[in-house]
């Protein structure tokens, strides 16, 4: 339940050129062409299919943490386990609520003893497709991310030894840990705690969005306005950073969100180029994961798109274009995972 959040890259005219150049160097030649290619007379929405990819059912699975039914079941228990927190009142699900698209829909997260964090809680949906975790990318994968909120003084405010000791005192956890890690002499450990939570989170994916169905040949899956928005998404340059199946390059781009002085990735790298830079958010299910940006300062998708156009693309988008883009973003809402809250020991 990280209190981290994200923002969109800040660029005005010259900065726009820098961002697109950076993107082009990192992207494949096909993606680079997609970002810079403009539509010609007679171009139809069908011609834009080549710029997008359907979301796979599962993200890449790391070789050192195979995905098993036992790990997933244990990870689900731990995700909903409030006794991992010092107060025994806060679980991962407190800030990543399944009923709220696996976020909390608050501007910034509320944690231990009612403390309010300084960043928005990002959704857990499709996070296995990201190659950097947290708004500032301070962890590279879900395994390392899983332990951060437990120890964060503003979030769950517990130390790992205390959390593990508490789990060890509950007989009902011993068998699930042994079943999940049968080859280990110490099944109940911090590494296994992280591996189990990460395994569960890798199952929280949302394929079969209207755009996915359109890309796979269902011409009726998108409305006319959504198709217009898809074309605008490419032509306006949004695809430069929001690309790939998960609509994120997992990169970091500076943005001056109005009113925010958050240093962003600079706090991790101490590199001035990373000041106020944040990881590109996935746009999957973005219609459900409001409010927006690392500080939750944009209450609506229309407002967020307007800020992105101004700060990232260096242009004032007109109302019609904003409406088309918002309609297209609505087509990225996929099938939501069905998860039954487990009975805990």
What distance in Å separates the CA atoms of residue 248 and residue 131, rounded to the nearest whole number?
10
Cβ neighbour number for residue 203 with a 10 Å cutoff = 16
Residue 80: CB partners within 8 Å, gap ≥ 6?
A: 91, 92, 93, 341, 342, 344
Q: Is 37 a known active-site residue?
A: no
Report residue 293 as tokens: 């940006």
- Alpha-carbon Rg for the chain in angstroms: 21
Report residue 9 as tokens: 């890259």
Half-sphere exposure of 269 (CA within 13 A, CB side): 15
What distance in Å separates the CA atoms of residue 341 and residue 335, rounded to the nearest whole number?
18
How far is residue 81 from each of residues 105, 126, 177, 264, 337, measured CA to CA in Å? 21, 21, 14, 30, 19
Options 81, 155, 201, 311, the catalytic residue: 155
Long-range interactions of 320-324: CB distance < 8 A, separation 24+: 321/232, 321/236, 323/225, 324/225, 324/226, 324/228, 324/229, 324/232
Contact assessment for residue 220 and residue 274, using Cβ atoms and an 8 Å cutoff: no
Give me the DSSP letters along 158-177: --HHHHHHHHHT-GGGHHHH
Report residue 204 as tokens: 């929280």
Which residues are the active-site residues? 155
């Amino acid at each position: 339940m990280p209190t981290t959040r994200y923002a969109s890259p800040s660029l005005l005219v010259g900065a726009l050129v820098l961002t697109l150049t950076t993107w082009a160097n990192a992207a494949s030649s096909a993606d680079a062409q997609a970002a810079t290619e403009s539509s010609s007379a007679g171009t139809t929405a069908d011609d834009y299919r080549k710029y997008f990819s359907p979301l796979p059912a599962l993200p890449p699975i790391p070789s050192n943490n195979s995905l098993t039914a036992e790990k997933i079941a244990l990870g689900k228990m731990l995700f909903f386990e409030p006794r991992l927190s010092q107060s025994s009142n806060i679980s991962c699900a407190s800030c990543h609520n399944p009923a709220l698209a696996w976020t909390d829909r608050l501007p910034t997260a509320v944690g231990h003893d009612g403390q309010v964090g300084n960043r928005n809680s990002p959704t857990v949906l499709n996070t296995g497709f990201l190659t950097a975790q947290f708004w500032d990318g301070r962890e590279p994968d879900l395994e390392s991310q899983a332990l951060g909120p437990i120890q964060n003084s503003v979030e769950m405010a517990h130390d790992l030894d205390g959390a593990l000791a508490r789990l060890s005192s509950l007989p009902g956890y011993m068998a699930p840990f042994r079943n999940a890690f049968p080859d280990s002499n110490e099944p109940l450990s911090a590494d296994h705690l992280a591996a189990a939570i990460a395994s569960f989170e890798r199952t929280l994916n949302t394929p079969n969005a209207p755009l996915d169905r359109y890309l796979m040949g269902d011409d009726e899956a998108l409305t006319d306005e959504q198709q217009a928005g898809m074309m605008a998404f490419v032509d306006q340059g949004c695809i430069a950073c929001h690309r790939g199946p998960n609509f994120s390059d997992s990169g970091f781009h500076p943005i001056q969100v109005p009113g925010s002085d958050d240093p962003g990735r600079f706090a991790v790298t101490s590199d001035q180029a990373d000041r106020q830079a944040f990881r590109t958010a996935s746009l999957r299910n973005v219609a459900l994961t409001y409010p927006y940006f690392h500080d939750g300062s944009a209450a609506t998708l229309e407002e967020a798109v307007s800020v992105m156009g101004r700060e990232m693309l260096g242009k004032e988008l007109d109302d019609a274009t904003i409406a088309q883009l918002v309609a297209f973003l609505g087509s990225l809402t996929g099938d939501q995972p069905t998860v039954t809250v487990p009975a805990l020991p």
